[in-house]
Copies of this chain bind each other. A is one copy, B any other.
Amino acid sequence: MEEIASNKISGGWQKRYQHQSEVLGCEMVFSVYLPPQAEQGAVPVLYWLSGLTCNDQNFVTKAGAQRYAAEHGVAIVAPDTSPRGDDVADDEAWDFAQGAGFYLTATQQPWAKHYNMYDYIVTELPALINAMPAIDSSRCGIFGHSMGGHGALTIALKNPDNYQSVSAFSPICAPMQCPWGEKALANYLGDDRESWSDYDACELIAKTEQQLPLLVDQGSADDFLVEQLKPELLEAACKDRGHPLTLRMQPGYDHSYYFISSFIGDHIKHHADALKQL
């Protein structure tokens, strides 16, 4: 693991690392923000999962998260959204393959060779992060945007012992019932829709035993709201199961980082409050 950038921001350090990923079979880059409190002792850590077309830099440069991470004393890890490189199978579409790993384990070729973002996010990356003296591995949250909101919700629901807090901006709530999700799941997992349900937040809500409270912000002027994101399905699934959900429809906001930056402070506080109680 090699440090390739380090910039001081809000009293802490925004760092960027490169490493050879075993589970993805390629070189990967991720970013970590260490708040000033990390110089005094280990701090809780949040994982931010980005959306379609992003890499680790979009969140780091546009969300304005660092000042809140510094205020609350939490680290934030921002990984890339898929395996990368000339050797990694790709597709011409912007909503599939490189930049669109969907945080799952592909079973169909040619994708199965590299597209294993689920294990990367849940196992390999945390092992690297938790080896840092600045990180308290026992206090961990996960959040994300759009495809990354889908990733955060599904990963937290499936691994309640690993994550003590979760939230999402404009998540793809029901990938089995929207074009982005159906395309990705069919290509990565094949035609058996039963196998898809392991990566659909609405399906997982119905199965989960532990009820981690969900915080979801959604812009009402989001162009993808009706066709792709469908928060009403998440709301219905949570209601059916009695799963705690705070869904905030934010009037006039769209799908961009302008929206994320407007409410990122609320999300970081949500995580910090949950993790401080541990």
Instruction: Return the chain B residue nearest A63 by Cβ.
Output: B64
Residues of B within 8 Å of A259, CB to CB, are: 7-9
A/B interface sample: 19 pairs, CB < 8 A: A7-B254, A7-B256, A8-B252, A8-B253, A8-B254, A9-B258, A9-B259, A9-B261, A9-B262, A10-B262, A11-B262, A61-B62, A62-B62, A64-B64, A64-B67, A64-B261, A66-B262, A67-B261, A67-B265
B67 close to A8 (CB less than 8 A)? no
- Complex Cα–Cα for A253 and B261 (A): 22
A105 within 8 A of B: no
A112 within 8 A of B: no
- Complex Cα–Cα for A64 and B69 (A): 14
* 0/1 interface trace, chain A 242-278, chain B, CB 8 Å (1 if under): 0000000000111011110110010000000000000
A14 within 8 A of B: yes
A-to-B contact residues, CB < 8 Å: 7-11, 14, 61-62, 64, 66-67, 219, 221, 252-254, 256-259, 261-262, 265
Residues of B within 8 Å of A254, CB to CB, are: 7-8
Residues of B within 8 Å of A14, CB to CB, are: 258
- Complex Cα–Cα for A219 and B11 (A): 12
- Complex Cα–Cα for A219 and B7 (A): 11
- Complex Cα–Cα for A257 and B11 (A): 14
- Complex Cα–Cα for A242 and B10 (A): 32
Q: Kindly report how many copies of this chain are found in the complex they form together.
A: 2
Residues of B within 8 Å of A10, CB to CB, are: 261-262
Closest 8 CB pairs of A and B: A64-B64, A9-B258, A7-B258, A8-B252, A8-B253, A10-B262, A9-B262, A61-B62
Residues of B within 8 Å of A265, CB to CB, are: 67
- Complex Cα–Cα for A253 and B219 (A): 35
CB distance from A14 to the nearest CB of B (A): 6
Residues of B within 8 Å of A11, CB to CB, are: 262
A258 close to B8 (CB less than 8 A)? yes
Residues of B within 8 Å of A61, CB to CB, are: 61-62, 257
Contacts A61-B61, A62-B61 given; does A67 touch B262 at CB 8 Å = yes
- Complex Cα–Cα for A9 and B63 (A): 11
CB distance from A9 to the nearest CB of B (A): 4
Instruction: Return the chain B residue nearest A254 by Cβ.
Output: B7
Residues of B within 8 Å of A7, CB to CB, are: 254, 256, 258-259
Instruction: Return the chain B residue nearest A257 by Cβ.
Output: B61
CB distance from A225 to the nearest CB of B (A): 14
- Complex Cα–Cα for A99 and B11 (A): 30
- Complex Cα–Cα for A258 and B62 (A): 10
Residues of B within 8 Å of A256, CB to CB, are: 7
